[in-house]
Amino acid sequence: MRWTCGLLAALAVCALLGAAAGCGTGDARDRGTTVSASPVGTLLDATDEDGRLYREVGRKGAPEVAIEIRPDSDDGWDVRLTVRNFRFSPPGSRAVPVAGRGVARIYVDGRAVARLRSAEYRLAGRLVPRGTHHVTARLYADDGTVWAVRGRPVESTADITASGSAARG
Q: Provide the residue-wise pLDDT of the chain in tens; the chain has 169 residues.
A: 444 444 444 444 344 334 344 343 333 434 444 555 557 999 999 999 999 999 999 999 999 999 999 999 888 999 999 999 999 999 999 999 999 999 999 999 999 999 999 999 999 999 999 999 999 999 999 999 999 999 999 999 999 999 855 444 4
The answer to whether residues 75 and 125 touch, using CB atoms and an 8 Å cutoff, is yes
Q: What predicted TM-score, i.e. pTM, was given to this entire model?
A: 0.75
Cα(95)–Cα(88) distance, integer angstroms: 13
- Going by C-alpha positions, the residue among 55, 26, 45 that lies closest to residue 138 is 55
Closest CA to 148 of 157, 158, 138: 138
State residue 74's pLDDT score: 84
Run of H or E including 135: strand 131-140
Closest by CA position to 13, among listed 24, 23, 2, 5: 5
Nearest to 32, CA basis, from 98, 95, 125: 95
